[in-house]
Structure 1
Protein backbone atom coordinates (compact mmCIF):
# COMPACT_ATOMS: atom_id res chain seq x y z
CA UNK A 1 0.00 0.00 0.00
CA UNK A 2 2.71 2.50 0.97
CA UNK A 3 4.63 2.23 -2.26
CA UNK A 4 1.56 3.27 -4.23
CA UNK A 5 0.49 6.10 -1.90
CA UNK A 6 1.33 9.78 -2.33
CA UNK A 7 1.47 12.09 0.69
CA UNK A 8 1.54 15.87 0.45
CA UNK A 9 3.19 17.67 3.39
CA UNK A 10 2.06 21.31 3.70
CA UNK A 11 3.94 23.33 6.33
CA UNK A 12 5.71 26.68 6.18
CA UNK A 13 8.27 25.51 8.76
CA UNK A 14 11.08 23.83 6.76
CA UNK A 15 12.23 21.78 9.76
CA UNK A 16 8.80 20.21 10.32
CA UNK A 17 8.22 19.84 6.58
CA UNK A 18 11.53 18.08 5.98
CA UNK A 19 11.14 15.87 9.07
CA UNK A 20 7.78 14.55 7.92
CA UNK A 21 8.88 14.22 4.31
CA UNK A 22 11.96 12.19 5.23
CA UNK A 23 10.01 9.98 7.62
CA UNK A 24 7.33 9.09 5.09
CA UNK A 25 9.84 8.66 2.28
CA UNK A 26 11.76 6.18 4.46
CA UNK A 27 8.52 4.21 4.78
CA UNK A 28 8.27 3.97 0.97
CA UNK A 29 5.60 6.64 0.44
CA UNK A 30 5.73 9.03 -2.46
CA UNK A 31 6.14 12.48 -0.87
CA UNK A 32 5.46 16.00 -2.15
CA UNK A 33 6.00 19.20 -0.18
CA UNK A 34 4.50 22.68 -0.15
CA UNK A 35 5.09 25.72 2.06
CA UNK A 36 1.76 27.44 1.34
CA UNK A 37 -1.85 26.49 0.60
CA UNK A 38 -1.48 27.98 -2.86
CA UNK A 39 1.50 25.71 -3.64
CA UNK A 40 -0.48 22.76 -2.30
CA UNK A 41 -3.43 23.53 -4.59
CA UNK A 42 -1.16 23.47 -7.65
CA UNK A 43 0.24 20.08 -6.63
CA UNK A 44 -3.18 18.62 -5.84
CA UNK A 45 -4.46 19.72 -9.26
CA UNK A 46 -1.71 17.77 -11.02
CA UNK A 47 -1.25 14.68 -8.84
CA UNK A 48 -3.43 11.84 -7.55
CA UNK A 49 -2.68 12.58 -3.89
CA UNK A 50 -3.98 10.20 -1.22
CA UNK A 51 -3.25 12.17 1.95
CA UNK A 52 -2.54 15.77 2.92
CA UNK A 53 -0.65 16.52 6.15
CA UNK A 54 -1.78 20.11 6.54
CA UNK A 55 -0.50 22.75 8.96
CA UNK A 56 -3.35 24.97 10.14
CA UNK A 57 -1.36 28.21 10.37
CA UNK A 58 0.03 29.01 6.96
CA UNK A 59 0.97 32.34 5.37
CA UNK A 60 -1.86 33.58 3.17
CA UNK A 61 -4.69 31.05 2.99
CA UNK A 62 -4.77 28.98 6.19
CA UNK A 63 -5.19 25.23 6.56
CA UNK A 64 -8.83 25.38 7.66
CA UNK A 65 -9.80 27.32 4.55
CA UNK A 66 -7.95 24.89 2.31
CA UNK A 67 -9.62 21.95 4.07
CA UNK A 68 -13.05 23.45 3.47
CA UNK A 69 -12.28 24.05 -0.21
CA UNK A 70 -10.88 20.56 -0.76
CA UNK A 71 -13.97 18.97 0.72
CA UNK A 72 -16.19 20.58 -1.91
CA UNK A 73 -15.09 18.07 -4.54
CA UNK A 74 -12.48 15.74 -3.04
CA UNK A 75 -12.32 12.89 -0.55
CA UNK A 76 -8.54 13.06 -0.17
CA UNK A 77 -7.46 12.17 3.37
CA UNK A 78 -6.70 15.25 5.47
CA UNK A 79 -4.75 15.31 8.73
CA UNK A 80 -4.61 18.78 10.27
CA UNK A 81 -1.48 19.66 12.24
CA UNK A 82 -1.67 22.39 14.87
CA UNK A 83 0.94 24.07 17.03
CA UNK A 84 -1.34 24.09 20.06
CA UNK A 85 -3.90 21.95 21.84
CA UNK A 86 -7.14 23.80 21.21
CA UNK A 87 -10.49 22.02 21.54
CA UNK A 88 -12.39 24.70 19.61
CA UNK A 89 -9.87 24.61 16.77
CA UNK A 90 -10.09 20.81 16.66
CA UNK A 91 -13.89 20.97 16.41
CA UNK A 92 -13.73 23.63 13.69
CA UNK A 93 -11.28 21.44 11.78
CA UNK A 94 -13.68 18.51 11.91
CA UNK A 95 -16.55 20.77 10.84
CA UNK A 96 -14.48 21.84 7.83
CA UNK A 97 -14.10 18.18 6.85
CA UNK A 98 -10.72 17.09 8.24
CA UNK A 99 -10.32 13.39 9.04
CA UNK A 100 -7.71 13.78 11.78
CA UNK A 101 -6.25 16.44 14.06
CA UNK A 102 -2.83 16.20 15.73
CA UNK A 103 -0.77 18.70 17.70
CA UNK A 104 2.91 19.54 17.79
CA UNK A 105 5.18 18.14 19.08
CA UNK A 106 3.97 14.90 17.56
CA UNK A 107 5.26 11.35 17.38
CA UNK A 108 6.01 10.52 13.72
CA UNK A 109 5.09 6.88 14.35
CA UNK A 110 1.63 7.92 15.53
CA UNK A 111 1.07 10.06 12.44
CA UNK A 112 2.29 7.18 10.27
CA UNK A 113 -0.23 4.80 11.85
CA UNK A 114 -3.06 7.30 11.38
CA UNK A 115 -1.95 7.97 7.81
CA UNK A 116 -1.91 4.28 6.84
CA UNK A 117 -5.44 3.73 8.14
CA UNK A 118 -6.74 6.84 6.44
CA UNK A 119 -5.05 6.09 3.11
CA UNK A 120 -6.49 2.57 3.19
CA UNK A 121 -10.00 4.02 3.42
CA UNK A 122 -9.32 6.54 0.64
CA UNK A 123 -8.00 3.83 -1.67
CA UNK A 124 -10.93 1.52 -0.95
CA UNK A 125 -13.33 4.31 -1.88
CA UNK A 126 -11.47 5.07 -5.10
CA UNK A 127 -11.16 1.42 -6.12
CA UNK A 128 -14.90 0.88 -6.46
CA UNK A 129 -15.91 0.41 -10.12
CA UNK A 130 -19.14 -0.51 -11.94
CA UNK A 131 -18.04 -4.15 -12.04
CA UNK A 132 -17.23 -4.37 -8.34
CA UNK A 133 -19.62 -5.98 -5.89
CA UNK A 134 -21.37 -3.16 -4.11
CA UNK A 135 -23.12 -2.84 -0.80
CA UNK A 136 -26.87 -2.43 -1.08
CA UNK A 137 -28.13 1.11 -1.66
CA UNK A 138 -30.43 2.50 1.01
CA UNK A 139 -33.36 4.77 0.08
CA UNK A 140 -34.97 7.06 2.63
CA UNK A 141 -37.04 10.18 2.16
CA UNK A 142 -35.75 12.08 -0.85
CA UNK A 143 -32.31 10.47 -0.56
CA UNK A 144 -30.43 7.38 -1.62
CA UNK A 145 -27.25 6.37 0.21
CA UNK A 146 -24.58 4.61 -1.86
CA UNK A 147 -22.43 2.93 0.85
CA UNK A 148 -19.51 1.96 -1.37
CA UNK A 149 -19.06 5.54 -2.56
CA UNK A 150 -20.03 7.14 0.78
CA UNK A 151 -22.37 9.29 -1.27
CA UNK A 152 -25.87 10.71 -0.88
CA UNK A 153 -27.97 11.37 -3.97
CA UNK A 154 -31.20 13.36 -3.78
CA UNK A 155 -34.32 12.90 -5.90
CA UNK A 156 -33.03 15.29 -8.57
CA UNK A 157 -29.70 13.47 -8.85
CA UNK A 158 -27.57 15.98 -6.91
CA UNK A 159 -24.73 14.20 -5.14
CA UNK A 160 -23.26 14.92 -1.69
CA UNK A 161 -20.05 13.26 -0.54
CA UNK A 162 -19.81 12.06 3.08
CA UNK A 163 -16.69 12.02 5.21
CA UNK A 164 -15.97 8.78 7.06
CA UNK A 165 -17.42 10.09 10.32
CA UNK A 166 -20.60 11.38 8.64
CA UNK A 167 -21.02 8.08 6.81
CA UNK A 168 -20.64 5.97 9.96
CA UNK A 169 -23.07 8.15 11.89
CA UNK A 170 -25.69 8.04 9.12
CA UNK A 171 -25.41 4.26 8.93
CA UNK A 172 -25.93 4.08 12.71
CA UNK A 173 -29.10 6.18 12.36
CA UNK A 174 -30.35 4.06 9.47
CA UNK A 175 -29.90 0.90 11.54
CA UNK A 176 -32.05 2.39 14.32
CA UNK A 177 -34.81 4.50 12.71
CA UNK A 178 -37.20 6.08 15.18
CA UNK A 179 -35.04 5.10 18.16
CA UNK A 180 -33.62 7.71 20.51
CA UNK A 181 -29.87 7.10 20.77
CA UNK A 182 -27.62 8.69 23.35
CA UNK A 183 -24.33 10.28 22.40
CA UNK A 184 -22.50 7.37 24.04
CA UNK A 185 -24.43 4.89 21.90
CA UNK A 186 -23.62 6.87 18.78
CA UNK A 187 -19.95 7.14 19.76
CA UNK A 188 -19.85 3.35 19.99
CA UNK A 189 -20.84 3.29 16.30
CA UNK A 190 -17.97 5.57 15.19
CA UNK A 191 -15.27 4.70 17.69
CA UNK A 192 -12.90 3.30 15.08
CA UNK A 193 -12.11 6.91 14.18
CA UNK A 194 -8.43 7.54 14.82
CA UNK A 195 -9.01 10.93 16.47
CA UNK A 196 -10.37 10.68 19.99
CA UNK A 197 -14.13 11.29 19.85
CA UNK A 198 -16.19 13.15 22.43
CA UNK A 199 -19.81 14.16 23.00
CA UNK A 200 -19.08 17.30 20.99
CA UNK A 201 -17.86 15.13 18.10
CA UNK A 202 -21.36 13.66 17.74
CA UNK A 203 -22.90 17.14 17.76
CA UNK A 204 -20.49 18.30 15.05
CA UNK A 205 -21.24 15.30 12.84
CA UNK A 206 -25.00 15.69 13.35
CA UNK A 207 -24.72 19.33 12.29
CA UNK A 208 -22.83 18.36 9.14
CA UNK A 209 -25.32 15.60 8.28
CA UNK A 210 -28.24 17.98 8.73
CA UNK A 211 -26.70 20.41 6.25
CA UNK A 212 -26.15 17.67 3.67
CA UNK A 213 -29.67 16.32 4.19
CA UNK A 214 -31.07 19.88 3.96
CA UNK A 215 -32.57 19.34 7.41
CA UNK A 216 -33.15 22.81 8.90
CA UNK A 217 -31.19 22.84 12.21
CA UNK A 218 -33.65 25.38 13.63
CA UNK A 219 -36.55 23.01 13.01
CA UNK A 220 -35.16 19.60 12.01
CA UNK A 221 -37.47 16.95 10.59
CA UNK A 222 -34.99 14.11 9.96
CA UNK A 223 -32.48 14.15 12.83
CA UNK A 224 -34.33 15.29 15.93
CA UNK A 225 -32.65 16.48 19.12
CA UNK A 226 -34.11 14.76 22.19
CA UNK A 227 -33.02 17.08 24.99
CA UNK A 228 -31.24 15.29 27.79
CA UNK A 229 -31.28 12.00 25.87
CA UNK A 230 -29.57 12.29 22.47
CA UNK A 231 -30.87 12.15 18.90
CA UNK A 232 -33.65 10.36 17.00
CA UNK A 233 -33.57 9.65 13.26
CA UNK A 234 -37.00 9.96 11.64
CA UNK A 235 -36.64 9.78 7.85
CA UNK A 236 -39.69 10.94 5.91
CA UNK A 237 -41.16 7.98 3.97
CA UNK A 238 -40.41 8.08 0.26
CA UNK A 239 -43.39 9.17 -1.77
CA UNK A 240 -44.77 6.77 -4.36
CA UNK A 241 -44.66 8.08 -7.95
Structure 2
Protein backbone atom coordinates (compact mmCIF):
# COMPACT_ATOMS: atom_id res chain seq x y z
CA UNK A 1 0.00 0.00 0.00
CA UNK A 2 1.22 3.50 -0.80
CA UNK A 3 1.15 6.22 1.88
CA UNK A 4 -1.14 9.13 1.13
CA UNK A 5 0.21 12.66 1.16
CA UNK A 6 -1.68 13.58 4.32
CA UNK A 7 -0.62 10.51 6.29
CA UNK A 8 1.41 11.24 9.41
CA UNK A 9 4.81 9.94 10.36
CA UNK A 10 4.90 7.16 12.98
CA UNK A 11 7.46 7.50 15.76
CA UNK A 12 7.95 3.96 17.05
CA UNK A 13 9.26 4.12 20.61
CA UNK A 14 8.70 2.05 23.77
CA UNK A 15 9.42 5.29 25.69
CA UNK A 16 6.12 7.04 24.96
CA UNK A 17 7.17 10.32 26.61
CA UNK A 18 10.38 10.42 24.57
CA UNK A 19 8.50 9.57 21.41
CA UNK A 20 5.97 12.34 22.10
CA UNK A 21 8.76 14.92 22.35
CA UNK A 22 10.03 13.90 18.93
CA UNK A 23 6.49 13.83 17.49
CA UNK A 24 5.82 17.31 18.88
CA UNK A 25 8.96 18.69 17.23
CA UNK A 26 8.08 17.12 13.88
CA UNK A 27 4.53 18.46 14.05
CA UNK A 28 5.80 21.95 14.87
CA UNK A 29 7.88 21.80 11.70
CA UNK A 30 5.10 20.77 9.33
CA UNK A 31 5.32 16.97 9.63
CA UNK A 32 2.37 15.57 11.63
CA UNK A 33 3.43 12.53 13.66
CA UNK A 34 1.84 9.83 15.83
CA UNK A 35 3.56 7.71 18.48
CA UNK A 36 3.33 3.92 18.53
CA UNK A 37 4.84 1.81 21.31
CA UNK A 38 4.20 -1.76 20.15
CA UNK A 39 5.04 -3.89 17.12
CA UNK A 40 1.55 -5.36 16.65
CA UNK A 41 -0.23 -1.96 16.61
CA UNK A 42 2.44 -0.69 14.21
CA UNK A 43 1.93 -3.57 11.78
CA UNK A 44 -1.86 -3.16 11.91
CA UNK A 45 -1.48 0.55 11.20
CA UNK A 46 0.78 -0.15 8.22
CA UNK A 47 -1.85 -2.39 6.65
CA UNK A 48 -4.89 -0.22 7.47
CA UNK A 49 -3.61 3.37 7.13
CA UNK A 50 -0.01 3.50 5.87
CA UNK A 51 2.06 6.44 7.15
CA UNK A 52 4.55 8.41 5.08
CA UNK A 53 7.50 7.16 7.15
CA UNK A 54 8.38 5.19 10.28
CA UNK A 55 11.03 6.55 12.65
CA UNK A 56 12.05 3.59 14.78
CA UNK A 57 14.09 4.25 17.93
CA UNK A 58 16.73 1.64 18.64
CA UNK A 59 17.28 1.73 22.41
CA UNK A 60 17.66 -1.91 23.39
CA UNK A 61 20.90 -3.45 24.63
CA UNK A 62 20.87 -5.77 21.64
CA UNK A 63 19.95 -4.84 18.06
CA UNK A 64 17.83 -7.96 17.48
CA UNK A 65 14.40 -6.54 18.52
CA UNK A 66 14.82 -3.38 16.43
CA UNK A 67 16.09 -5.28 13.40
CA UNK A 68 13.28 -7.80 13.71
CA UNK A 69 10.77 -4.94 13.75
CA UNK A 70 12.28 -3.55 10.53
CA UNK A 71 12.03 -6.97 8.90
CA UNK A 72 8.37 -7.29 9.97
CA UNK A 73 7.66 -3.83 8.57
CA UNK A 74 9.24 -4.86 5.27
CA UNK A 75 7.07 -8.00 5.17
CA UNK A 76 3.90 -5.91 5.01
CA UNK A 77 4.92 -2.51 3.60
CA UNK A 78 7.52 -0.62 1.57
CA UNK A 79 7.02 2.52 3.68
CA UNK A 80 10.32 4.39 4.31
CA UNK A 81 11.84 3.36 7.63
CA UNK A 82 14.62 5.12 9.59
CA UNK A 83 16.42 3.64 12.58
CA UNK A 84 17.56 6.15 15.20
CA UNK A 85 20.08 4.89 17.75
CA UNK A 86 19.91 5.81 21.43
CA UNK A 87 23.14 4.10 22.36
CA UNK A 88 26.68 4.00 20.93
CA UNK A 89 26.65 2.27 17.56
CA UNK A 90 29.13 0.47 15.36
CA UNK A 91 29.69 -0.17 11.68
CA UNK A 92 28.28 -3.66 12.22
CA UNK A 93 25.05 -2.21 13.65
CA UNK A 94 24.67 0.28 10.81
CA UNK A 95 25.24 -2.33 8.12
CA UNK A 96 22.84 -4.76 9.83
CA UNK A 97 20.16 -2.07 10.01
CA UNK A 98 20.47 -1.14 6.34
CA UNK A 99 20.59 -4.75 5.21
CA UNK A 100 17.45 -5.47 7.25
CA UNK A 101 15.54 -2.95 5.16
CA UNK A 102 16.07 0.42 6.87
CA UNK A 103 16.31 3.41 4.52
CA UNK A 104 18.63 5.34 6.83
CA UNK A 105 20.51 5.07 10.12
CA UNK A 106 20.78 8.00 12.53
CA UNK A 107 23.58 7.85 15.13
CA UNK A 108 22.88 8.64 18.78
CA UNK A 109 24.76 11.96 18.75
CA UNK A 110 22.70 13.50 15.93
CA UNK A 111 20.53 16.46 17.01
CA UNK A 112 16.77 16.59 16.53
CA UNK A 113 17.24 19.25 13.85
CA UNK A 114 19.34 16.83 11.80
CA UNK A 115 16.78 14.09 12.43
CA UNK A 116 14.18 16.37 10.82
CA UNK A 117 16.48 17.06 7.87
CA UNK A 118 17.19 13.34 7.36
CA UNK A 119 13.48 12.52 7.49
CA UNK A 120 12.76 15.10 4.81
CA UNK A 121 15.64 13.77 2.69
CA UNK A 122 14.25 10.21 2.87
CA UNK A 123 10.75 11.48 2.05
CA UNK A 124 12.08 13.36 -0.97
CA UNK A 125 13.82 10.24 -2.24
CA UNK A 126 10.61 8.27 -1.73
CA UNK A 127 8.52 10.96 -3.42
CA UNK A 128 6.36 11.56 -0.34
CA UNK A 129 7.57 15.02 0.72
CA UNK A 130 5.24 17.00 -1.50
CA UNK A 131 3.00 17.93 1.44
CA UNK A 132 5.89 19.25 3.52
CA UNK A 133 7.24 21.22 0.57
CA UNK A 134 3.83 22.73 -0.13
CA UNK A 135 3.41 23.57 3.55
CA UNK A 136 6.73 25.44 3.70
CA UNK A 137 6.08 27.24 0.41
CA UNK A 138 2.53 28.26 1.36
CA UNK A 139 3.68 29.49 4.76
CA UNK A 140 6.45 31.60 3.23
CA UNK A 141 4.09 33.10 0.64
CA UNK A 142 1.48 33.84 3.26
CA UNK A 143 3.94 35.63 5.52
CA UNK A 144 5.35 37.69 2.64
CA UNK A 145 1.88 38.90 1.67
CA UNK A 146 0.80 39.88 5.18
CA UNK A 147 0.71 43.49 6.36
CA UNK A 148 3.49 44.78 8.53
CA UNK A 149 3.45 43.77 12.21
CA UNK A 150 1.22 45.92 14.43
CA UNK A 151 2.64 49.20 15.65
CA UNK A 152 4.05 49.33 19.15
CA UNK A 153 1.35 49.69 21.82
CA UNK A 154 1.02 49.19 25.56
CA UNK A 155 -1.11 46.10 25.01
CA UNK A 156 -0.59 42.46 24.05
CA UNK A 157 -1.60 41.55 20.50
CA UNK A 158 -2.42 38.05 19.27
CA UNK A 159 -2.41 38.04 15.46
CA UNK A 160 -4.15 35.01 13.87
CA UNK A 161 -3.19 36.34 10.41
CA UNK A 162 0.53 36.32 11.17
CA UNK A 163 0.24 33.52 13.75
CA UNK A 164 2.28 35.55 16.20
CA UNK A 165 1.99 37.02 19.69
CA UNK A 166 3.28 40.56 20.18
CA UNK A 167 4.31 41.80 23.62
CA UNK A 168 3.64 45.40 24.71
CA UNK A 169 5.99 47.47 22.59
CA UNK A 170 5.43 45.34 19.49
CA UNK A 171 8.14 42.71 20.05
CA UNK A 172 7.16 39.26 18.66
CA UNK A 173 7.39 36.44 21.20
CA UNK A 174 8.54 33.84 18.66
CA UNK A 175 5.99 31.09 19.32
CA UNK A 176 6.15 27.76 17.52
CA UNK A 177 3.12 26.62 15.53
CA UNK A 178 1.99 24.29 18.33
CA UNK A 179 2.47 26.98 20.98
CA UNK A 180 0.47 29.52 18.98
CA UNK A 181 -2.39 27.07 18.35
CA UNK A 182 -2.61 26.25 22.07
CA UNK A 183 -2.52 29.89 23.14
CA UNK A 184 -5.10 30.87 20.53
CA UNK A 185 -7.59 28.28 21.80
CA UNK A 186 -6.97 29.20 25.44
CA UNK A 187 -7.33 32.94 24.81
CA UNK A 188 -10.64 32.39 23.01
CA UNK A 189 -11.92 30.59 26.13
CA UNK A 190 -10.35 33.00 28.63
CA UNK A 191 -11.33 32.13 32.20
CA UNK A 192 -12.77 28.74 31.23
CA UNK A 193 -10.70 25.54 31.45
CA UNK A 194 -10.07 23.88 28.09
CA UNK A 195 -9.92 20.05 28.14
CA UNK A 196 -6.75 18.31 26.98
CA UNK A 197 -8.71 16.48 24.29
CA UNK A 198 -9.88 19.80 22.79
CA UNK A 199 -6.32 21.15 22.88
CA UNK A 200 -4.88 17.96 21.37
CA UNK A 201 -7.25 18.13 18.39
CA UNK A 202 -6.50 21.84 17.88
CA UNK A 203 -2.72 21.51 18.25
CA UNK A 204 -1.86 18.03 16.96
CA UNK A 205 -5.02 17.15 14.98
CA UNK A 206 -5.39 13.95 17.01
CA UNK A 207 -7.43 12.83 20.05
CA UNK A 208 -5.82 12.91 23.49
CA UNK A 209 -5.24 9.73 25.51
CA UNK A 210 -4.20 9.37 29.19
CA UNK A 211 -0.53 8.61 28.48
CA UNK A 212 -0.24 11.45 25.96
CA UNK A 213 2.19 14.09 27.27
CA UNK A 214 2.27 16.17 24.10
CA UNK A 215 -0.12 18.89 25.31
CA UNK A 216 1.60 19.09 28.71
CA UNK A 217 4.98 19.50 27.01
CA UNK A 218 3.71 22.32 24.78
CA UNK A 219 2.06 24.03 27.77
CA UNK A 220 5.29 23.85 29.79
CA UNK A 221 7.32 25.39 26.96
CA UNK A 222 4.70 28.07 26.38
CA UNK A 223 4.57 29.04 30.08
CA UNK A 224 8.35 29.25 30.22
CA UNK A 225 8.46 31.41 27.09
CA UNK A 226 5.68 33.75 28.26
CA UNK A 227 7.30 34.13 31.69
CA UNK A 228 9.98 36.18 29.94
CA UNK A 229 7.38 38.74 28.81
CA UNK A 230 4.47 38.55 31.25
CA UNK A 231 4.23 39.68 34.86
CA UNK A 232 1.78 36.86 35.55
CA UNK A 233 3.67 33.58 36.24
CA UNK A 234 0.39 31.64 35.96
CA UNK A 235 -0.71 33.09 32.62
CA UNK A 236 -1.47 29.49 31.59
CA UNK A 237 -2.61 27.47 34.57
CA UNK A 238 -3.12 23.69 34.72
CA UNK A 239 -6.54 22.53 35.89
CA UNK A 240 -6.32 19.14 37.57
CA UNK A 241 -8.20 16.42 35.74
CA UNK A 242 -9.30 18.75 32.92
CA UNK A 243 -6.62 20.67 31.03
CA UNK A 244 -5.48 24.30 31.05
CA UNK A 245 -6.93 27.78 31.48
CA UNK A 246 -5.68 31.18 30.29
CA UNK A 247 -5.73 33.68 33.18
CA UNK A 248 -4.54 36.80 31.32
CA UNK A 249 -1.21 38.55 30.87
Shorter-chain-normalised TM-score: which range? 0.3 to 0.5
Greater share of residues in strand: 1
Q: Which has the higher Rg, Structure 1 or Structure 2? A: 2
TM (norm. structure 2) is 0.46
Higher relative contact order (CA 8 A, sep 6+): 2
